[in-house]
Amino acid sequence: MANIDAGGDGGGKKGPGVKKAKKLSTTVDMTPMVDLGFLLITFFIFTTTMAQPTAMNLYMPKDVDKPEDQNKVKESGAFTIMLGKQDVVYYYEGLDPTQIKTATFKTIRDEIIRKRQNTNPEDLVVIIKPTIDATYKNTVDILDEMTINGIKRYAMVDISPQEYQLITITESAAGIK
Amino acid sequence: MPSVKIKKHAPVNDMTPFVDVAFLILSFFMLATKFKPEEPVEVTTPNSVSSQVLPEKDAFMVSVDSKGRAFVSVDNPSFRQVLIQNLNDTRKLGLTTSEIKMFVNAPSIGVPFTQLKSLLAMDPEQAKKVAQPGIPCADSTGGELYYWIRDALSAYSGRKLNLLIKADNATKYPDFKNILNAFKKNDQNKFLLVTTPEDAPAGTSLYETRQKQIYGDK
């Protein structure tokens, strides 16, 4: 064990008849202290939360009553992403929902990058429409994708019944439940 | 012939440096640790590349678990006091002083107004075991969550209140939408979503901007 050895052999011989005092050991046994120390370390390791949670900004558009107050989107710049069941993503360019294509969260990034390169930056607007089957994780992932790819203008809006119907048809054709 | 005498010793191993390091680690963990706040539900937040630190002060947090149950938690005890008194007045909950005190000490609440009084009247240990059904928020007017938010905002009038939403990976979008709806009814459109940090994927535009920030333009 850790030694604290303060006593030496000093003192020397004392004459005959002087009784030699019994030398006491000055070594302190540190085992219990070390045990306790490690117990505490283990405790703190298990209870600690190292990764500080971060915050992600989400700005929602205000509800407008009149349709003429809404911002208009140019057909060339619109890119709509819809989130469906089973982490599948559907997207279409422009304003015609019948042109929907299927993608996953891995492939959608390439599509966003491609769209960004081919479009005038001032016109590009990404519209995110989660369906009722999407999860919160999907929503955060796709919002994250906007940050990752440097998309400045995007909005999260409700899906229209027509689009939802198209997704349902595509899903049943692809066998996604 | 005098032989060389070798002193017999027990094999002593000096553990001092070892103990030093152990206690150094111990003190590090003791200082760096921040205990997990007590939560009635387990919520696993999704990852995001966002690097903004979560504000801890002036926070009004709505947690949503995977089944869509909503819970309200507020960090500041004095703010909690004002909030519950506001609610008590506006919603005529008829809470007693001791029940209000219970709320001030409670970490988070997820029951409808009708059950709030009985929950707060319980013993704290007992109250922990109660399965809270969540604050109703499923209708288009924002449900009871609307009133929670309204009274929180009025209790915090004049200062900026950080609106945090913490939802589980598996939370369905409609449940999340209901929460947003309740905030929107109060004319609140800026939120902070609680996420776990992750790195920007290599090769993307965000990754390049961050590399430039670290290493400068080359």
Q: Which domains does chain A have, with CATH numbers?
A: 74-174 (3.30.420)
* Count of domains for chain B: 1
Of the ranges A15-19, A101-105, B198-202, which one carries the lowest mean pLDDT score?
Answer: A15-19
Least confident range of A154-158, B58-62, B140-144, B166-170: B140-144
| Within-domain flag for B137 | yes
- Give the A:B interface size as CB pairs under 8 Å: 172
Q: Which has the closest alpha carbon to A141: A81, A77, A60?
A: A81
Residue B206 lies in a domain: no
pLDDT value at residue B154: 76
Residue B107 sits at the vertex; the CA angle it makes with B103 and B113, to the nearest 5 degrees, is: 45
| B217 assigned to some structural domain | no
- Domain that residue B185 falls in: 58-197
pLDDT range class, residue A16, cuts 50, 70, 90: low
Q: Helical H runs in chain A?
A: 31-47, 108-118, 136-148, 161-174
Question: Which tokens sit at B86?
Answer: 């506001």
Contacts of B52 in chain A (CB under 8 A): 54-57
**pLDDT in the model for residue B210:** 78
Average pLDDT over all residues of chain B: 76
Percent of chain A having pLDDT more than 90?
0
pLDDT, tens digit (0-9, with 9 covering 90-100), for A128-174: 888 888 888 888 888 888 887 777 788 888 788 877 887 778 777 77
ipTM attached to this prediction: 0.70
Average pLDDT for chain A: 75
Provide the pLDDT for residue A28. Answer: 73
| For residues B28-37, average pLDDT | 74
Does residue B162 sit within a domain?
yes
Cβ contact B67:B176 at 8 Å: no
Q: What's the pLDDT at B96?
A: 72
Chain B: give the shortest CA distance to residue A173, in Å: 23
Check CB contact under 8 Å for A40 and B26. Answer: yes
Q: Does B135 reside within a domain?
A: yes
The answer to whether the CB atoms of A135 and B189 lie below 8 A apart is no
Question: Is residue B22 a part of any domain in this protein?
Answer: no
Joined tokens for residue A27: 């070594």
Neighbours of A31 (CB within 10 A): 11
